[in-house]
A and B are shown apart, each in its own frame.
Chain A
Amino acid sequence: MKKLLLVLLVLIVVLPLAACQGEPAEVAEEVEEVAEEVGEEAEEVAEEVAEEVEEVVEEEVEDLEPIVIGSIQDLSGPASIPGQANAWGAEYAVQVINENGGINGRMLEIITLDCKNDLNEGINAYRKLVDEHEVTAIIGPPLSNPASGWVELSEEDQVPIVGHFMDEVCTTDPDTGEAYPYMFLAEPSCSSQSFAIAKFAMEELGLTKFATLYNTGNAFAVAHAKPFMEYVVDNGGEVVGEETFTWADTDYSAQALKIVQAAPEAVFLSDYVNQAALAYDFLRDAGYEGVILGANTLALPFPDLVKNEVYDLYYLQNYDMLNPEAGGYELFTTHMEDVGTDYPKSNAGFGWDAVQVLVAAMRKAEDPTNGPELRDLLEQTDGVELAERTITIDPATHRPSNMGMYIADYDENMQIRILTYIEP
């Protein structure tokens, strides 16, 4: 009886200590001290209990080690400007999540590596994260080139990847249409975005004759231009010109003259901002005065890069970044202050959003480090809060089913002005 009482007494003292999740050695030491106070007879019992407690606490501490995720972004190379903003968004999201208690009490740790918008660099970064850092999941880059190399690897390693690789070939098999098991997109795909700007041009502006001018070597541009033309044709419009250029070209005046000759009502530019700015100038220099439509890359600093007056230009936007009443305003202003940039960048929101999608699945998981379980939960993503709006992922495509796009132009001060929201 005396022995039982002693055990109970020791447990009363020990359990709160264990609950405090202190260092196992410290807890054991304190248990022994208490036991000594109770008496010599209890020493043996106390040692046994202390060993038990030490084991329990060690298990607890192990469970509370941070969950490590990877982030592969274009920190250098031709897409480093958006890539760095993406990386910032993901890291800032992790910081905020940890400040708010982490994932069910466990902290997140993010390791960011550079893929330089290069397929092989992307694979190297992936291998390093999975093999050396043993990450649970990966936040992907906004560009499709490096992401396309992870499709099979992620399935082999059972590592979910959430990113902004908008080209559909990164999320679904182009031959079968089936979703790649571990690849998930956290913004509207290239097709969805192209449909949105085409829909706006045809329904809101009432245009029917279109042309495109894009770089055939840029997967992003091609993945926008082709669906744009398909939408136009499918909806009774006409594509009167499809002009192209390559990475080696710097002069598009011949293409611009040809477009002027075809007399479209609108020209769609779907390249990165450098090429889009050149294309805009060549078109205006060639005497084209019609509407110019653009991908989301035509956001700031586009007006600083062109020499002609910016007019009749409409382009896609993912966020209403300059609107203080919009959900992502604080995020974008924090990014601007933090990195010292003059204009907001959608990519900061992209990094943030991808982490939110992943974390929502982790919070629901029994084991947030289990890849297959996370994959199943990511497929069921429904109504997860992002920087603006919510996301629901279509399990059949692993792409958002509920996200539309904003259409914007530039106001008289050359600031982004959101005009409308096109539903998906």
Chain B
Amino acid sequence: MASINWFKYASPVTFFPLAGRLIPWFAWMAAILAAIGLYVGLVVAPTDFQQGDAYRIIFIHVPTAWLSMFLYVVMAIWSALALGFNTRVSAMMAQAIAPTGALMTFIALWTGAFWGRPTWGTYWAWDARMTSELILLFLYLGVIALRNAIDDPRRADRACGVLSLVGVVNVPIIYFSVKWWNTLHQGSSISMTAAPKMAAIMVSGMLIMSFAAWFYSIAVVLARVRTIMIDRERGAAWVGNLAEVKNA
């Protein structure tokens, strides 16, 4: 059985060019899928029987909300790997994910507010789903702030890693909040265990947009991790030998 030596890419020297090669693929996939997804969502999909056209916010709201939770879990996993293996790239990946996760959380909250106003009659309510998602935004901002507060990057890695791991308990709370408590927010339309409670064309628009958001996040995180690598390893020989650095 052929095995891949994953530790080969645990060093910035090998991960940097790999990330550079992957970025255009993910960026183009994100752009193409977003174009298809928006077309399906805004043109092909029919209006909703009770919400009219207001429901179309779902094509932005749900993908970003999913990503906000998923990215946090990925950040926590990288943090755990960084704490356990003491690998530099893991910590840098965790660092690179935080701003994109915060952006996704912010978009989910923002679009949710503008969806809530015409349907529920309010921008905001302190129900369990919305409050726990707001806590997620504060967790992302907390991780970013903590990183900036500590000068030594290795110490910052450890502190942010612990905070990320502590915060990961919030993710299942967000996901199951609509099941566990009475909330103003409706339950999940899509779940692993039941048939979708949406027309098929609406589901496909939402899934395409989710993949677009996913690929966008990968492309942006890889681009960000490259700048983090150059910044944190600026004294190292391999950075000095990079064509991008030499010609700058």
Q: Do A and B come from one complex?
A: no
